[in-house]
Structure 1
Amino acid sequence: MTSPIRNAPESAGVPVPAPFRQALLFVAAVTAWRLVLLFTDGINLSFDEAQYWHWAQTPALGYFSKPPLIAWMIWLTTAIGGNGEGWVRLGATLSHAATALVLFALAKALFRTRDDADRIGLWSALIWITLPAVSVSAMIISTDAPLLLCWAVALLALVRALEPEGTAWRWWGLLGVAIGIGLLAKYAMVFFVVSLLLFLLVSPADRGRLRQPGLWLALAVGGLVYSPNLLWNLLNGMASYRHTGENANLKSHLFNPAELGEFLLSQFGVFGPLLFVVLALLLTVALRRTWLVRRYRLLICFVAPVLLAITVQSFLSRANANWAATAFVAAVPLVTAWLMERNRWRWVLPVSASLHLLAAVALYNPAPLLSLAGMPMTAKLDLQKRLRGWNIAGDWARELAVKNPDLVPLFDDRKTMATLLYYGRPLMMPGRMWNPEGKRQNHYELSASLPADPGGNYLLLTRGEAGWAAPYFERVETVGILRLPIYSDYTLELHAYRLTGFKGYAAGGAR
């Protein structure tokens, strides 16, 4: 069976299936809309996005909190178009568009014996590109977008590798490459390997693959592709691994039913309310019957373990809404195919896609919609209020640096440092992080801590006041305060201080 990914263009004499054309046009239209907003909306980078941009200025094999792919992606897009917010975020938007098209190919390959295989592929692509979580993720640069693309490619490669055809070697190889690159995007890709092994163990028709070289070739290739980041961690005290372990936060108070409830409710927003209800039914009430169908069993093995693990994590400690995002790659074709088998439930697909698009319109254009309703935008209604005004703050910080060329920029929290390194570029670099206790809890404490040796003059930029600085410096002077009203009930405030004659950390009692 020929995959739609391998179909030649119509000019070569091979017609492109109509459902694939429809999927391509729809995905292209939604992506074009997002790109217009991306380059015209002017929403400032979050501190995480700004930090990723800073990483991209010095491409490496790893960073404190993440593997390196996010920085490499930003390096590429900004090398092409410059350092504007749109170019920083571009990789995420394009990754989700590619994921939607890969899901078309995945669904068609997996359900190729069904007459509606093309339609399952079409709706899988449409559902993915309109998912509420994708509408958010496509407009910010994060590790999730490339991770989800790698997960989808790996699933497609696995499905093709398991086919009884003579091209399995190249698909096993692609599977390994996708796993390796996925690990370079985010360590959550390890769940894919767990799900893969689980499927081979529980599927009698596929259990023999555990003794065949294809699987082990894929794992070896994946390990080889990923190995540069492993080397970086070995040379840097396992920094990324330690941070990932600390994020689990299992040393705090265990058993948190409120966190569990919050996480489960958040998944209705991630996957869409109707689709999440259907998925829940598939994994509970309908599981016994669905499990008997091999292709459904495969998809369930790539949904259930992730959802279960993160749900348990949320109960034991906490879990962000996006931590289970990889489960929804397989959940899309699973839910889509299951609904299309049941004529009376097919309406869920177009209704969900429509609701998701309406939600995206509200997310991307809240002010005009509120205006039509006669309601003013306020800080309570603006989910992006904390991203506003930082371009002005960057100009302010840059002017202070110009007026005080003898001072080295100094920061006392990573959020302010990351954001001003971007918006105050290039005069905020190289900045220093105040770190009297010698902590290694973020990238800047690891790579840019102010040395303990006495001497030096600094321009401190902080969200608070600097009374704490007096014991450490011969003189502390206020050189500026920025109060930028974003709304009547929300103001961005920054303070700037001239710190001269650093006495060393020991002067303030730090060891």
Structure 2
Amino acid sequence: MPEASPLIPSRDRDLRAVLLCVAALTVARLVALFATPLQLYPDEAQYWLWSRTLDFGYYSKPPMIAWAIWATTAIGGDGEAWVRLSASLFQAGATVVVFLIGRRLYTPAVGFAAAALYALMPGIQLSALVAATDAPLLFFLGLGILAYVGLQDATQARKPWRAAGLGVALGLAFLSKYAAIYFVIGLGLHLAFSRAARAAWTWPAAVSAILAFAIVLAPNLAWNATHGFATFQHTAANAAWSGVQLFNLSEMGLFLGSQLGVFGPIPFVALLLGVGLAFARRRISENDLLLMCFALPPLLIVTGQAFISRANANWSGAGYLAGAILVAAWLVRWRARRWLIAAIAIQAAVAAFFLVSVISPAVADKAGLANGLKRARGWDQMTQLILDRAEREPDLSAIAVNNRFLFYAMSYYGRDRLRMGGPPLTSWLLMEGPRNQAETTAPLTAALGRRVLMVSYEGWRRPEMQADFTAASGLEIGSVRLDNRRKRRVEMFIGEGFAPRPRDPVSGLPGRPTPP
């Protein structure tokens, strides 16, 4: 690479280099997005369905993901790539923010290394290519940390403005995912452990941060208040401990092992080693302490949840933006250049393989990873199979499915055919009341139950479905092949005279069905 002009300030050269690298990686991701044959995950289809009706909240998530999908599809249409486009842009922004934080707290070299570790993190590869809540969450959390870092040494006149920026960023993070609560925990820990952090705040700054945060979040709180706090209840239900074995060491071990694949093997081991050394030496620098307060709570809390109940591998992701900066700073400080290069090289190889697999899923199939792609295959074909059956049936009053994933996938992949005035798509309720947004917004009712095409996903609960009708006929089994070993199956029948049996007052489930 030719030497940069000495007329360009060093800080500008550093930032320009990062921007060029991020732009190149983002272009590669966009190529993969527009070239992949992989279909939307059902959750992505659900978020797309939300984006058709803009609101300040939705059943299971805050509104940011729906807003982002609305914006990108308004530009390019409803194709899969446009539904997912914002993820790559949010992660590009988050990578630049990581560099800016690392440069400000340490050196440009640390900032650049941190940006590389973050951008190539295995978990980020998936996050940058799917429509989900993690990408906007990490971007706005990063902006919040950047504003907080700037607040530490801001002048008295600038503190209220920096604090307001922090409040806005935190509010937008909460509008992305309620896991933004980890930022609040980290902020509280930093204030508790750092006298310098407490001294950085003034009353005008604190008021500015709280007001800005409240103004941004208020519409979502108002929406929840008028919808029975649906999003909060769903978030709490995800963390519920019922129906699982408590105090499970194997679950905790599996979760910790999964973090090698989320954060990367070398960065995760370096993070654990650095934390251990810091506590053993009882000496932590102010900048390290700040980042540790934001990086460790998600990992520790979710590890505890995995031990007590269960936890998904990505639930700790809110801590890895700060964690990438911390690991980069430690590896540079330890002069572990070879380990840093090895970490970046390994993660770059994983990122390259992931992009190739997205463009050509057969590569992943040959590597034995087909199971990881099954949720992104077959939904279009399954939708058309069901709608073809519906077209062959005269005088249908509705189509009803018993699986929310199938409902969302059909809403997306059947959008053109469903708009043509045929029978509406509805959701059959197993329990007395709705358990998800599909059942809440489009339940099968007696008014729609005259003659219904009933669809049982994988044959689940078909006898109970048949027993909810006075007559059931025309059973047909359809399937779609996902790969050489797997296929997706549905069982369809015509139900006439929808008269759902009373549900048990204790379990909420229907009684024992009579033979069809």
- Normalising by the residue count of structure 2, what TM-score does the alignment of the two structures yield? 0.88
Of 481-490 and 267-276, deviating more is 481-490
Residue 338 in structure 1 maps to residue 330 in structure 2? yes
Matches within 5 A, 1:13-412: 17-111=12-106, 117-165=107-155, 166-209=157-200, 212-251=203-242, 252-287=244-279, 289=281, 291-343=283-335, 345-366=336-357, 377=366, 381-404=370-393, 406-407=395-396, 408-412=398-402
> How far 1:222 sits from its partner (Å)?
1.0
Of 313-322 and 206-215, deviating more is 206-215
Unmatched tracts of structure 1, length 5 or more = 1-9, 112-116
Give the counterpart letter for 1:467 in structure 2. P
Of 74-83 and 383-392, deviating more is 383-392
> How far 1:86 sits from its partner (Å)?
0.6
Residue 415 in structure 1 maps to residue 374 in structure 2? no
**Partner SS, residue 445 of structure 1:** helix
> How far 1:82 sits from its partner (Å)?
0.9
Partner of 1:7: none
Give the counterpart letter for 2:385 in structure 1. W
Change over 3 Å in CA distance of 1:290–1:92 after alignment to 2: farther
> How far 1:226 sits from its partner (Å)?
0.9
**Partner SS, residue 409 of structure 1:** strand
**Partner SS, residue 82 of structure 2:** helix
**Partner SS, residue 277 of structure 2:** coil
Give the counterpart letter for 2:54 in structure 1. P
Distance in 2 between the 1:75 and 1:15 partners? 39
Unmatched tracts of structure 2, length 5 or more = 512-516
Partner of 1:488: 484
Report if the CA contact (8 A) 1:378-1:489 is conserved.
no
**Partner SS, residue 195 of structure 2:** coil
Match of 1:426 among 413, 416, 426: 416
The percentage of aligned residue pairs carrying the same residue is 34
Deviations 1:82-141 (A, max 9, x none): 111111111111111110001111112222xxxxx1122212211111010001111111
**Partner SS, residue 415 of structure 2:** coil
- Normalising by the residue count of structure 1, what TM-score does the alignment of the two structures yield? 0.89
**Partner SS, residue 366 of structure 2:** coil
> How far 1:451 sits from its partner (Å)?
2.4
How large is the Cα RMSD of the aligned pairs?
Answer: 2.7
* Structure 1 residue ranges (4+ consecutive) displaced by more than 6 angstroms after TM superposition: 12-16, 367-372
Change over 3 Å in CA distance of 1:148–1:500 after alignment to 2: same
Change over 3 Å in CA distance of 1:42–1:200 after alignment to 2: same
Report if the CA contact (8 A) 2:458-2:488 is conserved.
no
**Partner SS, residue 495 of structure 1:** strand
**Partner SS, residue 325 of structure 1:** helix
Give the counterpart letter for 2:175 in structure 1. L
Distance in 2 between the 1:38 and 1:263 partners? 29
Deviations 1:160-213 (A, max 9, x none): 111143422221111111110110111110111121122122111222345533
Report if the CA contact (8 A) 2:35-2:359 is conserved.
no
Give the counterpart letter for 2:286 in structure 1. R
Distance in 1 between the 2:140 and 2:256 partners? 25
Report if the CA contact (8 A) 1:200-1:210 is conserved.
no
> How far 1:476 sits from its partner (Å)?
2.4
